[in-house]
Structure 1
Amino acid sequence: MSLDQPIEFVKHQTVTRDAFLGGRLTLSQPRNGFRAGLDSVLLGAAVPKGTARLADLGAGVGTAGLVALALDLAETALLAEIDAEALTLAAENIAANGFAARAEAHAIDIAAPAAARRAAGLVDNGFDAVIANPPFFAAGRGTPAPDASRAGARHMPEADLDQWVRSAAASAKAGGTVIFVYPATALAPLLASFSARFGAITLLPLCPRPDEAASRVLIRGIKGSRAPLTLLASRVLHGTDGRAFSAEFDAIFRGAARLDW
Protein backbone atom coordinates (compact mmCIF):
# COMPACT_ATOMS: atom_id res chain seq x y z
CA MET A 1 0.00 0.00 0.00
CA SER A 2 1.00 3.60 -0.41
CA LEU A 3 2.08 5.39 2.75
CA ASP A 4 1.14 8.99 3.47
CA GLN A 5 1.81 9.78 7.12
CA PRO A 6 3.29 12.88 8.79
CA ILE A 7 6.71 12.82 10.37
CA GLU A 8 5.14 12.75 13.87
CA PHE A 9 4.36 9.08 13.35
CA VAL A 10 8.04 8.18 13.43
CA LYS A 11 8.52 6.88 16.96
CA HIS A 12 11.59 6.43 19.12
CA GLN A 13 13.87 8.18 16.66
CA THR A 14 15.83 11.40 16.59
CA VAL A 15 15.64 12.60 13.00
CA THR A 16 18.20 14.72 11.19
CA ARG A 17 17.79 16.72 7.99
CA ASP A 18 20.73 16.19 5.67
CA ALA A 19 21.61 17.81 2.35
CA PHE A 20 22.60 15.74 -0.68
CA LEU A 21 23.64 16.68 -4.22
CA GLY A 22 24.94 20.04 -3.14
CA GLY A 23 21.63 20.94 -1.49
CA ARG A 24 19.38 19.90 -4.38
CA LEU A 25 17.95 17.21 -2.11
CA THR A 26 17.32 17.37 1.65
CA LEU A 27 16.37 14.17 3.43
CA SER A 28 15.09 13.29 6.87
CA GLN A 29 16.78 10.20 8.29
CA PRO A 30 17.35 8.69 11.73
CA ARG A 31 20.29 10.07 13.67
CA ASN A 32 21.06 6.54 14.85
CA GLY A 33 20.73 3.40 12.80
CA PHE A 34 21.13 2.95 9.06
CA ARG A 35 21.91 6.25 7.34
CA ALA A 36 22.22 7.00 3.66
CA GLY A 37 25.76 7.21 2.36
CA LEU A 38 27.84 7.09 -0.78
CA ASP A 39 26.34 3.83 -2.00
CA SER A 40 22.79 5.21 -2.10
CA VAL A 41 23.82 8.36 -3.96
CA LEU A 42 25.92 6.43 -6.48
CA LEU A 43 23.08 3.97 -7.05
CA GLY A 44 20.63 6.76 -7.83
CA ALA A 45 23.17 8.54 -10.04
CA ALA A 46 23.73 5.28 -11.97
CA VAL A 47 20.13 5.12 -13.27
CA PRO A 48 19.96 5.39 -17.08
CA LYS A 49 18.92 8.84 -18.26
CA GLY A 50 15.43 8.78 -19.74
CA THR A 51 14.06 6.10 -17.41
CA ALA A 52 10.28 6.46 -17.37
CA ARG A 53 9.39 4.33 -14.35
CA LEU A 54 11.88 3.42 -11.62
CA ALA A 55 11.57 1.00 -8.68
CA ASP A 56 13.90 1.34 -5.69
CA LEU A 57 13.86 -1.93 -3.71
CA GLY A 58 14.66 -1.65 -0.01
CA ALA A 59 14.56 2.10 -0.45
CA GLY A 60 15.07 3.07 3.20
CA VAL A 61 14.28 6.78 3.50
CA GLY A 62 14.27 7.03 -0.30
CA THR A 63 17.76 8.31 -1.03
CA ALA A 64 18.64 6.43 -4.21
CA GLY A 65 15.27 6.82 -5.88
CA LEU A 66 15.02 10.50 -4.99
CA VAL A 67 18.58 11.13 -6.23
CA ALA A 68 17.49 9.72 -9.59
CA LEU A 69 14.51 12.07 -9.64
CA ALA A 70 16.54 15.10 -8.53
CA LEU A 71 19.07 14.47 -11.31
CA ASP A 72 16.19 14.08 -13.81
CA LEU A 73 17.31 10.56 -14.70
CA ALA A 74 13.86 9.08 -14.00
CA GLU A 75 10.38 10.49 -14.48
CA THR A 76 8.64 8.58 -11.66
CA ALA A 77 9.74 6.30 -8.84
CA LEU A 78 8.24 3.70 -6.54
CA LEU A 79 10.08 3.41 -3.22
CA ALA A 80 9.61 -0.09 -1.78
CA GLU A 81 10.47 -0.53 1.90
CA ILE A 82 9.37 -2.90 4.67
CA ASP A 83 10.54 -0.96 7.74
CA ALA A 84 7.66 1.22 8.95
CA GLU A 85 9.76 4.07 10.34
CA ALA A 86 11.94 4.28 7.24
CA LEU A 87 8.82 4.18 5.08
CA THR A 88 7.28 7.08 6.98
CA LEU A 89 10.46 9.10 6.45
CA ALA A 90 10.52 8.16 2.76
CA ALA A 91 6.98 9.49 2.34
CA GLU A 92 7.95 12.69 4.17
CA ASN A 93 11.03 13.09 1.98
CA ILE A 94 8.97 12.70 -1.16
CA ALA A 95 6.66 15.52 -0.09
CA ALA A 96 9.36 17.77 1.35
CA ASN A 97 11.38 17.70 -1.85
CA GLY A 98 8.45 18.42 -4.14
CA PHE A 99 8.15 14.95 -5.68
CA ALA A 100 4.58 14.13 -4.63
CA ALA A 101 3.48 13.92 -8.26
CA ARG A 102 6.44 11.75 -9.27
CA ALA A 103 7.04 9.28 -6.43
CA GLU A 104 5.23 6.98 -4.01
CA ALA A 105 6.43 5.02 -0.96
CA HIS A 106 4.91 1.55 -0.60
CA ALA A 107 5.13 -1.02 2.19
CA ILE A 108 6.63 -3.97 0.31
CA ASP A 109 8.51 -7.03 1.54
CA ILE A 110 10.95 -7.91 -1.24
CA ALA A 111 11.11 -11.50 0.06
CA ALA A 112 7.32 -11.94 0.10
CA PRO A 113 5.54 -14.21 -2.40
CA ALA A 114 5.02 -12.70 -5.85
CA ALA A 115 1.29 -12.22 -5.35
CA ALA A 116 1.86 -10.19 -2.18
CA ARG A 117 4.47 -8.01 -3.89
CA ARG A 118 2.14 -7.36 -6.81
CA ALA A 119 -0.76 -6.49 -4.49
CA ALA A 120 1.47 -4.00 -2.68
CA GLY A 121 2.38 -2.21 -5.91
CA LEU A 122 5.52 -3.93 -7.17
CA VAL A 123 3.92 -5.18 -10.37
CA ASP A 124 5.50 -7.65 -12.75
CA ASN A 125 7.12 -6.22 -15.89
CA GLY A 126 6.17 -2.74 -14.72
CA PHE A 127 9.44 -0.81 -14.48
CA ASP A 128 12.01 0.45 -16.96
CA ALA A 129 14.72 0.31 -14.29
CA VAL A 130 14.98 -1.41 -10.91
CA ILE A 131 17.68 -0.50 -8.38
CA ALA A 132 18.66 -1.94 -5.01
CA ASN A 133 21.21 -1.61 -2.22
CA PRO A 134 20.34 -4.87 -0.44
CA PRO A 135 21.51 -6.02 2.99
CA PHE A 136 24.99 -7.37 2.55
CA PHE A 137 26.23 -9.35 5.56
CA ALA A 138 25.21 -12.98 5.63
CA ALA A 139 23.75 -14.06 8.96
CA GLY A 140 26.47 -14.82 11.46
CA ARG A 141 29.08 -12.82 9.58
CA GLY A 142 30.27 -9.27 10.14
CA THR A 143 29.45 -7.20 13.20
CA PRO A 144 25.73 -6.94 13.95
CA ALA A 145 24.45 -3.37 14.23
CA PRO A 146 23.02 -2.47 17.66
CA ASP A 147 20.09 -0.59 16.13
CA ALA A 148 17.33 -2.86 14.81
CA SER A 149 16.65 -0.86 11.64
CA ARG A 150 20.32 -0.66 10.82
CA ALA A 151 20.74 -4.38 11.45
CA GLY A 152 17.83 -5.12 9.13
CA ALA A 153 19.40 -2.98 6.43
CA ARG A 154 22.79 -4.69 6.75
CA HIS A 155 22.14 -8.34 7.58
CA MET A 156 20.37 -11.16 5.77
CA PRO A 157 21.12 -14.78 4.92
CA GLU A 158 23.07 -15.18 1.69
CA ALA A 159 20.25 -17.24 0.18
CA ASP A 160 17.91 -14.25 0.45
CA LEU A 161 20.09 -12.25 -1.94
CA ASP A 162 18.87 -14.41 -4.80
CA GLN A 163 15.29 -13.51 -3.85
CA TRP A 164 16.13 -9.82 -4.21
CA VAL A 165 17.50 -10.43 -7.69
CA ARG A 166 14.48 -12.59 -8.56
CA SER A 167 12.11 -9.84 -7.43
CA ALA A 168 14.03 -7.23 -9.42
CA ALA A 169 13.92 -9.42 -12.52
CA ALA A 170 10.16 -9.96 -12.17
CA SER A 171 9.55 -6.23 -11.76
CA ALA A 172 11.64 -5.08 -14.73
CA LYS A 173 10.15 -4.79 -18.19
CA ALA A 174 11.60 -6.78 -21.09
CA GLY A 175 14.74 -4.89 -22.01
CA GLY A 176 14.67 -3.13 -18.64
CA THR A 177 17.74 -2.34 -16.54
CA VAL A 178 18.49 -3.76 -13.10
CA ILE A 179 21.27 -2.18 -11.01
CA PHE A 180 22.57 -3.23 -7.60
CA VAL A 181 25.37 -1.79 -5.48
CA TYR A 182 27.16 -4.31 -3.26
CA PRO A 183 30.42 -4.92 -1.38
CA ALA A 184 33.10 -6.26 -3.69
CA THR A 185 34.02 -9.01 -1.22
CA ALA A 186 30.51 -10.48 -1.53
CA LEU A 187 30.20 -10.17 -5.31
CA ALA A 188 30.30 -13.89 -6.16
CA PRO A 189 26.72 -14.85 -5.16
CA LEU A 190 25.31 -11.63 -6.61
CA LEU A 191 27.02 -12.18 -9.95
CA ALA A 192 25.74 -15.76 -10.02
CA SER A 193 22.17 -14.55 -9.47
CA PHE A 194 22.49 -11.85 -12.13
CA SER A 195 24.03 -14.28 -14.63
CA ALA A 196 21.05 -16.62 -14.25
CA ARG A 197 18.57 -13.89 -15.16
CA PHE A 198 20.18 -11.10 -17.19
CA GLY A 199 22.50 -10.46 -20.08
CA ALA A 200 24.73 -7.53 -20.96
CA ILE A 201 25.97 -7.60 -17.37
CA THR A 202 28.30 -4.70 -16.61
CA LEU A 203 30.52 -4.54 -13.53
CA LEU A 204 32.02 -1.28 -12.26
CA PRO A 205 34.50 -1.76 -9.37
CA LEU A 206 34.93 1.26 -7.10
CA CYS A 207 38.16 1.75 -5.14
CA PRO A 208 38.43 4.00 -2.07
CA ARG A 209 41.89 5.31 -3.01
CA PRO A 210 44.56 4.78 -5.67
CA ASP A 211 46.32 1.40 -5.46
CA GLU A 212 43.65 -0.03 -3.15
CA ALA A 213 41.38 -2.96 -3.92
CA ALA A 214 37.77 -2.30 -4.88
CA SER A 215 35.52 -1.97 -1.83
CA ARG A 216 32.18 -1.93 -3.63
CA VAL A 217 30.85 -2.73 -7.06
CA LEU A 218 27.96 -1.56 -9.20
CA ILE A 219 26.41 -4.32 -11.28
CA ARG A 220 23.97 -3.75 -14.13
CA GLY A 221 22.02 -6.29 -16.14
CA ILE A 222 19.49 -6.12 -18.97
CA LYS A 223 16.40 -8.32 -18.83
CA GLY A 224 16.18 -10.53 -21.92
CA SER A 225 19.61 -9.64 -23.30
CA ARG A 226 22.10 -12.29 -24.44
CA ALA A 227 25.07 -9.94 -24.66
CA PRO A 228 28.26 -10.96 -22.81
CA LEU A 229 29.58 -9.60 -19.54
CA THR A 230 31.69 -6.43 -19.47
CA LEU A 231 34.15 -5.75 -16.65
CA LEU A 232 34.93 -2.04 -16.60
CA ALA A 233 38.15 -0.53 -15.33
CA SER A 234 38.08 0.36 -11.64
CA ARG A 235 37.35 3.96 -10.69
CA VAL A 236 38.82 5.70 -7.66
CA LEU A 237 36.57 7.60 -5.27
CA HIS A 238 39.24 9.69 -3.53
CA GLY A 239 42.24 11.54 -4.88
CA THR A 240 45.86 11.01 -3.99
CA ASP A 241 45.51 12.82 -0.64
CA GLY A 242 43.01 10.16 0.41
CA ARG A 243 40.37 12.64 1.59
CA ALA A 244 38.93 14.79 -1.19
CA PHE A 245 36.83 13.08 -3.83
CA SER A 246 38.21 12.66 -7.31
CA ALA A 247 36.80 15.12 -9.87
CA GLU A 248 34.32 12.61 -11.31
CA PHE A 249 32.77 11.69 -7.99
CA ASP A 250 32.94 15.20 -6.57
CA ALA A 251 30.72 16.33 -9.45
CA ILE A 252 28.25 13.53 -8.73
CA PHE A 253 28.04 14.25 -5.00
CA ARG A 254 27.57 17.98 -5.71
CA GLY A 255 24.65 17.15 -7.98
CA ALA A 256 26.44 18.42 -11.07
CA ALA A 257 26.71 15.10 -12.93
CA ARG A 258 25.31 11.60 -13.22
CA LEU A 259 27.43 8.46 -13.07
CA ASP A 260 28.44 7.78 -16.67
CA TRP A 261 29.13 4.09 -17.07
Structure 2
Amino acid sequence: MTRDAFLGGRLTLSQPRNGFRAGLDSVLLGAAVPAGTGRLLDMGAGVGTAGLVALALERATGADLAERDAATLDLAARNIAENGFAGRAVALAADVEAKAVQRRAAGLADNTYDVVIANPPFFGSGQGTPAPEASRAAARHMGPEALDLWVRCAAACARAGGMAIFIYPAQGLAALLARFEPRFGAMVVLPLSPRPGEPASRILLRGTKGSRAPLTLLASRAMHGPTGNDFAPEFDAVFRGAAALDW
Protein backbone atom coordinates (compact mmCIF):
# COMPACT_ATOMS: atom_id res chain seq x y z
CA MET A 1 0.00 0.00 0.00
CA THR A 2 0.92 3.63 -0.41
CA ARG A 3 -0.54 6.69 1.30
CA ASP A 4 -1.00 9.49 -1.22
CA ALA A 5 -2.04 13.11 -0.74
CA PHE A 6 -4.65 14.73 -2.95
CA LEU A 7 -6.05 18.26 -3.06
CA GLY A 8 -2.94 19.74 -1.51
CA GLY A 9 -3.19 17.37 1.46
CA ARG A 10 -6.90 17.79 2.14
CA LEU A 11 -7.28 14.08 1.35
CA THR A 12 -4.83 11.26 2.11
CA LEU A 13 -5.79 7.99 0.45
CA SER A 14 -4.54 4.44 0.77
CA GLN A 15 -4.19 2.62 -2.54
CA PRO A 16 -2.29 -0.39 -3.87
CA ARG A 17 1.28 0.28 -4.94
CA ASN A 18 1.00 -1.98 -8.00
CA GLY A 19 -2.73 -2.07 -8.76
CA PHE A 20 -4.92 0.53 -10.42
CA ARG A 21 -3.92 3.92 -8.99
CA ALA A 22 -6.09 7.01 -8.95
CA GLY A 23 -4.77 9.96 -10.90
CA LEU A 24 -5.79 13.25 -12.44
CA ASP A 25 -8.96 11.89 -14.01
CA SER A 26 -10.40 10.86 -10.64
CA VAL A 27 -9.70 14.28 -9.16
CA LEU A 28 -11.18 16.10 -12.16
CA LEU A 29 -14.29 13.92 -12.00
CA GLY A 30 -14.88 14.69 -8.33
CA ALA A 31 -14.18 18.38 -8.87
CA ALA A 32 -16.71 18.44 -11.76
CA VAL A 33 -19.66 17.65 -9.46
CA PRO A 34 -22.05 20.64 -9.37
CA ALA A 35 -22.24 22.71 -6.20
CA GLY A 36 -25.28 21.92 -4.08
CA THR A 37 -25.41 18.22 -4.94
CA GLY A 38 -27.18 16.25 -2.25
CA ARG A 39 -26.73 12.53 -2.74
CA LEU A 40 -23.86 11.40 -4.98
CA LEU A 41 -23.12 7.96 -6.45
CA ASP A 42 -19.56 7.15 -7.55
CA MET A 43 -19.84 4.09 -9.83
CA GLY A 44 -16.78 1.85 -9.98
CA ALA A 45 -15.32 4.02 -7.26
CA GLY A 46 -12.01 2.20 -6.75
CA VAL A 47 -10.49 3.44 -3.50
CA GLY A 48 -13.02 6.29 -3.48
CA THR A 49 -10.99 9.14 -4.91
CA ALA A 50 -13.59 10.92 -7.05
CA GLY A 51 -16.41 10.68 -4.54
CA LEU A 52 -14.22 11.80 -1.66
CA VAL A 53 -12.85 14.69 -3.71
CA ALA A 54 -16.44 15.87 -4.22
CA LEU A 55 -17.05 15.68 -0.46
CA ALA A 56 -13.78 17.39 0.44
CA LEU A 57 -14.56 20.25 -1.95
CA GLU A 58 -18.06 20.52 -0.43
CA ARG A 59 -19.74 19.81 -3.76
CA ALA A 60 -21.94 17.05 -2.33
CA THR A 61 -23.58 16.36 1.01
CA GLY A 62 -23.18 12.58 0.96
CA ALA A 63 -21.77 9.89 -1.31
CA ASP A 64 -22.16 6.17 -1.98
CA LEU A 65 -18.99 4.58 -3.36
CA ALA A 66 -19.88 1.49 -5.41
CA GLU A 67 -17.06 -0.97 -6.10
CA ARG A 68 -17.13 -4.68 -7.00
CA ASP A 69 -13.54 -5.68 -6.11
CA ALA A 70 -13.50 -6.70 -2.44
CA ALA A 71 -9.93 -5.64 -1.64
CA THR A 72 -10.40 -2.27 -3.34
CA LEU A 73 -13.71 -1.78 -1.55
CA ASP A 74 -11.96 -2.36 1.78
CA LEU A 75 -9.55 0.46 0.92
CA ALA A 76 -12.45 2.74 0.00
CA ALA A 77 -14.05 2.07 3.39
CA ARG A 78 -10.72 2.75 5.09
CA ASN A 79 -10.31 6.01 3.19
CA ILE A 80 -13.79 7.12 4.18
CA ALA A 81 -13.03 6.57 7.85
CA GLU A 82 -9.49 7.96 7.88
CA ASN A 83 -10.52 11.16 6.14
CA GLY A 84 -13.38 11.87 8.52
CA PHE A 85 -16.27 11.11 6.17
CA ALA A 86 -17.83 8.21 8.09
CA GLY A 87 -21.05 10.17 8.55
CA ARG A 88 -21.27 11.26 4.93
CA ALA A 89 -20.05 8.36 2.77
CA VAL A 90 -20.66 4.62 2.47
CA ALA A 91 -18.71 1.97 0.55
CA LEU A 92 -21.08 -0.43 -1.23
CA ALA A 93 -20.16 -3.86 -2.60
CA ALA A 94 -21.92 -3.41 -5.93
CA ASP A 95 -21.23 -4.28 -9.56
CA VAL A 96 -22.64 -1.63 -11.88
CA GLU A 97 -22.62 -4.18 -14.73
CA ALA A 98 -24.82 -6.62 -12.81
CA LYS A 99 -28.50 -7.21 -13.53
CA ALA A 100 -30.91 -4.69 -12.07
CA VAL A 101 -32.19 -7.02 -9.36
CA GLN A 102 -28.63 -7.68 -8.15
CA ARG A 103 -27.74 -4.00 -8.30
CA ARG A 104 -30.76 -3.06 -6.23
CA ALA A 105 -30.02 -5.80 -3.70
CA ALA A 106 -26.53 -4.34 -3.29
CA GLY A 107 -28.02 -0.98 -2.32
CA LEU A 108 -28.06 0.93 -5.62
CA ALA A 109 -31.67 2.05 -5.64
CA ASP A 110 -33.44 3.37 -8.71
CA ASN A 111 -34.32 7.08 -9.06
CA THR A 112 -32.32 8.05 -5.99
CA TYR A 113 -29.19 10.07 -6.68
CA ASP A 114 -28.86 13.74 -7.54
CA VAL A 115 -25.61 13.09 -9.43
CA VAL A 116 -23.96 9.88 -10.65
CA ILE A 117 -20.27 10.00 -11.62
CA ALA A 118 -18.05 7.45 -13.34
CA ASN A 119 -14.57 6.95 -14.76
CA PRO A 120 -15.34 3.70 -16.61
CA PRO A 121 -12.81 1.29 -18.12
CA PHE A 122 -11.69 2.80 -21.38
CA PHE A 123 -10.35 -0.02 -23.56
CA GLY A 124 -12.81 -2.15 -25.45
CA SER A 125 -12.29 -5.86 -25.78
CA GLY A 126 -9.15 -6.61 -27.75
CA GLN A 127 -7.75 -3.08 -27.46
CA GLY A 128 -4.63 -2.12 -25.57
CA THR A 129 -2.46 -4.39 -23.46
CA PRO A 130 -4.08 -5.86 -20.34
CA ALA A 131 -2.34 -4.86 -17.12
CA PRO A 132 -0.70 -7.74 -15.23
CA GLU A 133 -2.32 -6.83 -11.92
CA ALA A 134 -5.97 -7.93 -11.77
CA SER A 135 -7.56 -4.81 -10.23
CA ARG A 136 -5.73 -2.54 -12.66
CA ALA A 137 -6.74 -4.68 -15.63
CA ALA A 138 -10.39 -4.64 -14.55
CA ALA A 139 -10.27 -0.85 -14.21
CA ARG A 140 -8.85 -0.38 -17.72
CA HIS A 141 -10.54 -3.06 -19.83
CA MET A 142 -14.14 -4.01 -20.46
CA GLY A 143 -16.19 -6.00 -22.91
CA PRO A 144 -18.01 -4.41 -25.84
CA GLU A 145 -21.37 -4.12 -24.08
CA ALA A 146 -20.05 -2.87 -20.75
CA LEU A 147 -20.11 0.85 -21.52
CA ASP A 148 -23.83 0.62 -22.25
CA LEU A 149 -24.33 -1.15 -18.92
CA TRP A 150 -22.50 1.64 -17.08
CA VAL A 151 -24.65 4.34 -18.68
CA ARG A 152 -27.80 2.27 -18.14
CA CYS A 153 -26.96 1.93 -14.45
CA ALA A 154 -26.32 5.67 -14.17
CA ALA A 155 -29.68 6.43 -15.78
CA ALA A 156 -31.51 3.99 -13.51
CA CYS A 157 -29.93 5.31 -10.32
CA ALA A 158 -30.27 9.04 -11.08
CA ARG A 159 -33.46 10.73 -9.93
CA ALA A 160 -35.68 12.58 -12.38
CA GLY A 161 -33.79 15.73 -13.29
CA GLY A 162 -30.61 14.25 -11.84
CA MET A 163 -27.28 14.23 -13.66
CA ALA A 164 -24.68 11.77 -14.84
CA ILE A 165 -21.07 12.87 -15.32
CA PHE A 166 -18.48 10.65 -17.02
CA ILE A 167 -14.82 11.27 -17.76
CA TYR A 168 -13.56 9.37 -20.79
CA PRO A 169 -10.82 9.39 -23.45
CA ALA A 170 -11.63 11.79 -26.28
CA GLN A 171 -11.46 9.02 -28.89
CA GLY A 172 -14.39 7.32 -27.15
CA LEU A 173 -16.70 10.36 -27.27
CA ALA A 174 -18.87 9.06 -30.12
CA ALA A 175 -19.50 5.76 -28.34
CA LEU A 176 -20.30 7.51 -25.07
CA LEU A 177 -22.66 10.03 -26.69
CA ALA A 178 -24.49 7.21 -28.44
CA ARG A 179 -25.25 5.62 -25.08
CA PHE A 180 -26.11 8.86 -23.29
CA GLU A 181 -28.44 10.20 -25.99
CA PRO A 182 -31.41 7.82 -25.40
CA ARG A 183 -31.27 8.40 -21.64
CA PHE A 184 -30.09 11.96 -20.98
CA GLY A 185 -30.59 15.42 -22.45
CA ALA A 186 -28.99 18.83 -21.94
CA MET A 187 -25.67 17.10 -22.55
CA VAL A 188 -22.55 19.20 -22.06
CA VAL A 189 -19.15 18.14 -23.41
CA LEU A 190 -15.96 19.67 -22.03
CA PRO A 191 -12.86 18.67 -24.05
CA LEU A 192 -9.56 18.72 -22.16
CA SER A 193 -6.28 19.00 -24.07
CA PRO A 194 -2.72 18.63 -22.78
CA ARG A 195 -1.62 22.05 -24.14
CA PRO A 196 -3.13 24.98 -26.05
CA GLY A 197 -3.76 24.11 -29.68
CA GLU A 198 -3.39 20.36 -29.18
CA PRO A 199 -6.21 17.84 -29.73
CA ALA A 200 -8.29 16.91 -26.71
CA SER A 201 -7.09 13.79 -24.90
CA ARG A 202 -10.07 13.35 -22.59
CA ILE A 203 -13.59 14.69 -22.22
CA LEU A 204 -16.07 15.31 -19.44
CA LEU A 205 -19.67 14.58 -20.40
CA ARG A 206 -22.64 15.70 -18.31
CA GLY A 207 -26.27 14.82 -19.01
CA THR A 208 -29.59 15.48 -17.29
CA LYS A 209 -32.14 12.70 -16.90
CA GLY A 210 -35.45 13.53 -18.54
CA SER A 211 -34.26 16.72 -20.25
CA ARG A 212 -34.88 17.39 -23.95
CA ALA A 213 -32.45 20.30 -24.20
CA PRO A 214 -29.83 20.11 -26.97
CA LEU A 215 -26.16 19.26 -26.60
CA THR A 216 -23.61 21.97 -25.77
CA LEU A 217 -19.99 21.58 -26.89
CA LEU A 218 -17.75 23.80 -24.77
CA ALA A 219 -14.43 25.24 -25.85
CA SER A 220 -11.46 22.99 -25.16
CA ARG A 221 -9.42 23.76 -22.05
CA ALA A 222 -5.68 23.13 -21.86
CA MET A 223 -4.34 21.39 -18.76
CA HIS A 224 -0.83 22.86 -19.16
CA GLY A 225 0.72 25.97 -20.63
CA PRO A 226 2.49 26.01 -24.03
CA THR A 227 5.73 24.80 -22.44
CA GLY A 228 6.82 23.17 -19.20
CA ASN A 229 4.96 20.81 -16.92
CA ASP A 230 3.15 23.32 -14.71
CA PHE A 231 -0.62 23.12 -14.76
CA ALA A 232 -2.68 26.01 -16.08
CA PRO A 233 -3.98 28.17 -13.18
CA GLU A 234 -7.53 26.76 -13.36
CA PHE A 235 -6.33 23.17 -13.03
CA ASP A 236 -3.58 23.97 -10.57
CA ALA A 237 -6.23 25.39 -8.23
CA VAL A 238 -8.26 22.17 -8.56
CA PHE A 239 -5.33 19.88 -7.83
CA ARG A 240 -4.28 22.00 -4.84
CA GLY A 241 -7.80 21.74 -3.41
CA ALA A 242 -8.38 25.48 -3.74
CA ALA A 243 -11.22 25.30 -6.29
CA ALA A 244 -13.68 23.02 -8.02
CA LEU A 245 -13.99 22.69 -11.78
CA ASP A 246 -16.35 25.34 -13.12
CA TRP A 247 -18.09 24.17 -16.31
Q: How many residues were matched structurally?
A: 247
CA RMSD of aligned residues (A): 0.6
> What does 1:103-122 align with in structure 2 at a 5 Å threshold?
103-122=89-108
Aligned counterpart, 2:29: 43
Residue 208 of structure 2 is aligned to residue 251 of structure 1: no
> What does 1:1-261 align with in structure 2 at a 5 Å threshold?
15-261=1-247
Q: How far apart are residue 58 of structure 1 and its match?
A: 0.1
Overall identity of the aligned pairs, in %: 72
CA distance in 2, matches of 1:107, 1:83: 8
When normalised by structure 1's length, the TM-score is 0.94
User: Does the 8 Å CA contact 1:204/1:217 hold for their aligned counterparts?
Assistant: yes
Output one character per residue of 1:230-257: Cα deviation in whole Å (capped at 9) or x when no partner: 0000000011224000000000000000
Q: Give the 3-state SS of the residue equivalent to 2:145 in structure 1.
A: helix
Q: Give the 3-state SS of the residue equivalent to 1:22 in structure 2.
A: helix
Divergent runs of 4+, >4 A: none
When normalised by structure 2's length, the TM-score is 0.99
* Partner AA of 1:206 in structure 2: L
Q: How far apart are residue 33 of structure 1 and its match?
A: 1.6
User: Does the 8 Å CA contact 1:174/1:223 hold for their aligned counterparts?
Assistant: yes
CA distance in 2, matches of 1:238, 1:203: 19
Aligned counterpart, 1:5: none
Is there any run of 5+ residues in structure 2 with no aligned partner, and where?
A: none
Q: How far apart are residue 158 of structure 1 and its match?
A: 2.6
* Partner AA of 1:45 in structure 2: A
CA distance in 2, matches of 1:142, 1:129: 31
CA distance in 2, matches of 1:245, 1:86: 29
Q: Give the 3-state SS of the residue equivalent to 1:206 in structure 2.
A: strand
CA distance in 2, matches of 1:186, 1:219: 11
Output one character per residue of 1:117-164: Cα deviation in whole Å (capped at 9) or x when no partner: 111111000100000000010011012111111000000013210010
Q: How far apart are residue 24 of structure 1 and its match?
A: 0.4
User: Does the 8 Å CA contact 1:209/1:242 hold for their aligned counterparts?
Assistant: no
